[in-house]
Amino acid sequence: MRAQLRKLSRAPDAGWWVRERVDMVLLAAKGWSAPLIAQHLGCSDKTVRRVLRAFEAKGVEALERQVRGPPPDLAQRQHVHAALAALLAQPRTWTSGQLALALREHGVRLGARQVRRYLADLGASWQRTKMTLAHKQRTDEVARARRHLSRLKKRPSREGRPLLPG
């Protein structure tokens, strides 16, 4: 068992918490008390006792970090992804707020910020709307207006004229 614990603590992907907990278990196996282990490792003796009790109950898997909170609701996530995919397939542009309102028809109540998180999960991208009228301009009228504006300037442009007379 010691060899397995040492191998676990020296694994390249082991976190610092695993190494520290393995040290707690190995020091306790050598006969160290919980307060002495805590003083040596710079943690609380309650932490040492908690880790040792968990190790006795669960074994090596107790040395890894435990994810707190409820497990993810995968069915809900799939439902939201399907509803978003159906909405995004429509030929229109959406904002996250509009998507949040449209998702209510599918029985999903989310805010705009959470919708953006689900869109990131889907790999959807967005671009800021371009505020330009260049695509609606007529080039001949733009050129005529530029010529007219250049004549109204205080000093006419020197394009095509020599810099010095003569």
pLDDT tens, position by position, 120-135 = 988 887 777 777 777 7
**Dihedral of alpha carbons 151, 156, 158, 162, sign:** positive
Which residue range forms the structural domain that includes residue 112?
A: 74-122
Instruction: Kindly state whether residue 131 falls inside one of the protein's structural domains.
Output: no
Identify the residue with better confidence: 12 or 100: 100
What is the distance between the alpha carbons of residues 99 and 103, in angstroms, rounded to a whole number?
6
Residue 162: the pLDDT is 63
Cα dihedral value 49, 53, 55, 58, nearest 10: -150
Residues 24 and 49 in one domain: yes
- What is the token pair recorded at 67? 């994810």
Q: Are residues 87 and 40 in the same domain?
A: no
Q: Is residue 44 part of a domain?
A: yes
Q: Tens digits of per-residue pLDDT, 68-108?
A: 889 889 999 999 999 999 999 999 888 999 999 999 999 99
Residue 23 lies in a domain: yes
CB atoms < 10 A from the CB of 56, how many?
A: 11
For residue 166, is it within any domain? no
Q: Is residue 96 part of a domain?
A: yes
Check whether residue 53 and residue 96 sit in a common domain. Answer: no
Neighbour-count burial of 99, counting CB atoms closer than 10 A to its CB (0-12 exposed, 13-18 middle, 19+ buried): buried
pLDDT given for residue 74 in this prediction: 94
